[in-house]
Structure formats: structure tokens, C-alpha cells
Structure 1
Amino acid sequence: MSTFKNPVGPQPPSVYWRRRAVLALGLIAVVVIIVLIVVRPGSGSAEPGAAATTSAPAGDAATPSPAPSETAPAADATADPADDPTDDAAAGASDAPTCSARDIDLKPVTDKTNYAATELPQISMTITNSGRSDCSIDLGSAQQTLVVSSGEEQYWSSKDCQVNGTNQVVTLTAGQTLSTPAIAWDRTRSSAETCESASRTPVTAGGATYRLSVSVGDITSADTAQMILN
């Protein structure tokens, strides 16, 4: 069985040139492929980043402050008229009718019921228009009275040493309540003769019970507030 083999020996120059051309084309193709892999179209463009957004924390939202409570002038026995501008001109005129006693509810107020030996009771009052219509009333310090008593005996009154009492006519809307600033009772007996005394007689303590009543003009509170002094 015969077989055919390529002839051995030198070949024509054209064969070598063709081989060189094929090798050169192959190298060029490899270089082009590498360049295409490394430098892809659009690979240099940066993606747009998401815009940064800042949201305010919920705690930063403005919170409305509670409205201040309405107050009437204090019945402080040593009130300075400069702190309580309640002269007739400042009070102004009111178109509302004068409040009747049946429409005004006065309530004595203490900061607590039981007091230790070193504690001074803070006493005040509230004034409520329990009627159905607006009315005007003089709530100046000259009209307010706070009285501390025990049984039938009166021990202390804000009137005993009050100076420069003032008048102030205010309009109370139906259902409106005003509160007077609290004043401290020094746990002593009061009288007009002892206002300048540095050593007033202290009241009995050791669990003794006292009661606070209040009035505005001719209107007196129906109830009293209890204070127990230890």
C-alpha cells in the first residue's frame, strides 16, 4: 500500500513570504482584540450619582408651647403697685354688665394639705364666671381677701397688712376661670398692729388644722381649703 508524503527540501521563496504575511496578520489581529477588550466604547463615562438629600429629623419640628394660664392680680399684703398696674385708667371701661354673686364661683387653693415644720403654705384663689354671659368684676388686690382660721377663730388675713391696694375691673367670659398668684402664709398670727414686728406670734402646729377661705368684694367662697401644720 503506497502513501504520499510532502517532498522534503527547500521550497520556493513565495511560500516563505505567504507564511510571514499570515503570521503578521495574526499578530495584528491579536493586538486589535486586546485593545478592544481593554478600551470598550463608553467605559470611560461616569455614571451620574444620586443627588444627596437631607431630611430634617422629626425631633426638629417646632412644637407649639402651651398657652400661659390666665392670672388675676395677687392679693399680696405687701404688693408693690409698680408690679401691679391696676389703677382705674389701666383697667379701662367694660361694656359687659357687672357680675352677680350667683355667677361668680370662688375657690380657695393651697399647694398641699400637710405641711412639715419648715414648710410655708402657698395660698391663692380661683375666680370662675359660672354664668351664661360675659360680665365684669373688680379683681384688683384691694378687693381680694384671704383668711386663715381654725374653728371660729381667725388667725391671719391678707388685709391686715396690705398696702397700696389697687382696683382692676376685668371682663370674665362665660365659663372663664382666673387664678391669682400664690402668696406664702408665714404661719403666724396677723394684725394691723404687728405689721412691722419682726417676731410675730407663730400659730400652734403639731398637727393642728387650719382652713383657708377667700373673698372678692362682697362675694365669699362657699368652701374652705384645709391645711394641717406639723
Structure 2
Amino acid sequence: MSSVLHPVGPEDKGTYWRRRLVVVLALVVIVVLAGVGIKALTTSDDAAAQGPTKLDPSTVTTTQAQSPTASPSGSPTGTSTQSPGATASTQTTTATATTAAGACPDAALEVSLTTRATTYGPGKAPNLVLTVRNTSGTACTVETSSAVRVLTVTDAAGATVWSSADCQTRGESVTAELDPDGTRSKTTTWSRQRSEAGCPTGQAAVEPGTYTVAGSWDGVDAAPVTVALTG
């Protein structure tokens, strides 16, 4: 112990203390380097533990997710595999069903006659409205051209003074489909003039008085109405 604290030798004491200091410093450097090396190894192990784990491809099961827009039929694009021809066929069938209604039988038709007013003053022409109604439970078609609508006006003595048939000509057939309880209405204006077969011009106006108007639609009669002409 005394030799450590009090070096003995041919050299002076300072030389021995410097040598011992060098040895101590070398030991300190060795210890520091050893500590750094141990820390580096520890950090490397921690990083390896925290890094992503590589999977063995042979142990991975791949599941293919079905596209949310894929159609039930399995079409790869997710669109319907129904052919355009099928859609066209459906539309054609619908259109055919719409136009397949037959002509309304007379028993299914109810015709009514109304007038906008019961009394018409000087220069006022009566407006006469014929309405046809489908009373059946199924749709059917009815002729609507003017040739099938006839209005006749008679005076108090029962003589015919005007008829829409005198000036009507049979034109192109026009039909309309009536749903159950469906109706069609047509208005005719009587100019208060007389008429004759062949529709000659220059007919005189009727005298003031009460007149009876009868009407029919395609052979089905309506209940008559009366109008009073004044002035």
C-alpha cells in the first residue's frame, strides 16, 4: 500500500504519477467504450423487436372482397346482365296492353246534355255540351269525331229548326280511351240560325221563344234540355 502511494524507483515521483494517470485514463476510456457498445447493442435489439414482422407468404390466406356494386348475377362490371331485347319486349307488352282496349258497347255508355245557361238574351248564342261516360268496370274506346255527335233543336210545336247533322261531314275517325267512370265532353255553339239538309247558306234566325235541344253520341241518346231565347 505504501508503494502505491509512495512510488519507489530510480525515477522521480512525478514520472511514476504521470504513468499511473495514463493507465487510469486508459481504463476510463475502455470503460466508456464498453458502455457505449452495450447501449448500441441494446438499442439495436429494441428496434428489431419493434419493427414490422415479415409474414411467410405460405402462411397468408388471401380473401377476395366482393365489390359493393357487383350485381347479384355476377356481372364483373356490376351492371345488369339482362339483355336490351328483354327490356324492349316488356315495354312493347305494356304499350300493347294500353291500346288493347276494345270499343265501348252502347250499354256501357251514358250520355248527358247540358247548356251553359237556360236563358240567352239578344245576340247570345247557346253553348251546348255533350258528355259521354264509361259506366263499365273496364277501359274501352269511344269515337269522338263530330260526325258521331248530333244535336237537334225543335220549337214549341215540335218542328225541327236546326240540326248539327245538316252541316256535318264524316271525316277521319278519332277515338279516345275511357277508363272506368271516365268521361269526354264536347261543346257545340248554336248560332240561333235555322238549318236545312245540305247546309245551304243564308238561313234565317229563329224567333224568340222556348226551344228543346236533343243530343246523341254515337247513337246513344241524352235527356233533352230546354233553352229560352229572348230579344
Q: Bin the TM-score by the shorter chain.
A: 0.5 to 0.7
C-alpha RMSD of the superposition: 1.9
How many residues are paired up?
132
* Structure 1 counterpart of 2:114: 109
* Structure 2 counterpart of 1:211: 212
The gaps in structure 2 that reach 5 residues or longer are: 1-97
Shift of the alpha carbon at 1:196? Answer: 4.0
* Structure 1 counterpart of 2:162: 156
CA–CA separation in structure 1 for the residues paired with 2:105 and 2:179:
13
C-alpha contact (below 8 Å) 1:145/1:158 kept by paired residues: yes
Change (3 A) 1:110 1:165: farther
C-alpha contact (below 8 Å) 1:189/1:202 kept by paired residues: yes
Opposite residue 110 of structure 2, the aligned amino acid is: D
Larger radius of gyration: 2
Query: 129, 144, 148: which one pairs with 1:143?
Result: 148
The gaps in structure 1 that reach 5 residues or longer are: 1-92
* Structure 1 counterpart of 2:127: 122
Higher helix share: 2
Point out which structure has higher relative CO (alpha carbons under 8 A, 6+ apart).
Answer: 1
C-alpha contact (below 8 Å) 1:110/1:122 kept by paired residues: yes
Q: Quick check: 1:227 aligned with 2:222?
A: no
CA–CA separation in structure 2 for the residues paired with 1:130 and 1:168:
20
TM-score normalised by the chain length of structure 2: 0.52
Query: 130, 133, 137: which one pairs with 2:138?
Result: 133
Structure 2 SS opposite 1:159: helix
Structure 2 SS opposite 1:124: strand
Opposite residue 164 of structure 2, the aligned amino acid is: S
Query: 197, 201, 225: which one pairs with 1:197?
Result: 201
Shift of the alpha carbon at 1:176? Answer: 0.6
Query: 170, 180, 184: which one pairs with 2:176?
Result: 170
Opposite residue 229 of structure 2, the aligned amino acid is: L
CA–CA separation in structure 2 for the residues paired with 1:110 and 1:212:
9
Structure 1 SS opposite 2:131: strand
Structure 2 SS opposite 1:136: strand
TM-score normalised by the chain length of structure 1: 0.53
CA–CA separation in structure 1 for the residues paired with 2:154 and 2:101:
35
CA–CA separation in structure 2 for the residues paired with 1:145 and 1:165:
14
> What are the superposed Cα offsets for residues 69-93 of structure 1, whole Å, 9 maximum, x if unpaired?
xxxxxxxxxxxxxxxxxxxxxxxx9
CA–CA separation in structure 2 for the residues paired with 1:139 and 1:120:
23
Runs of 4+ in 1 over 6 A off after TM superposition: none
> What are the superposed Cα offsets for residues 114-166 of structure 1, whole Å, 9 maximum, x if unpaired?
01122111122111112221111212122111111235322111110124533
CA–CA separation in structure 2 for the residues paired with 1:184 and 1:141:
13
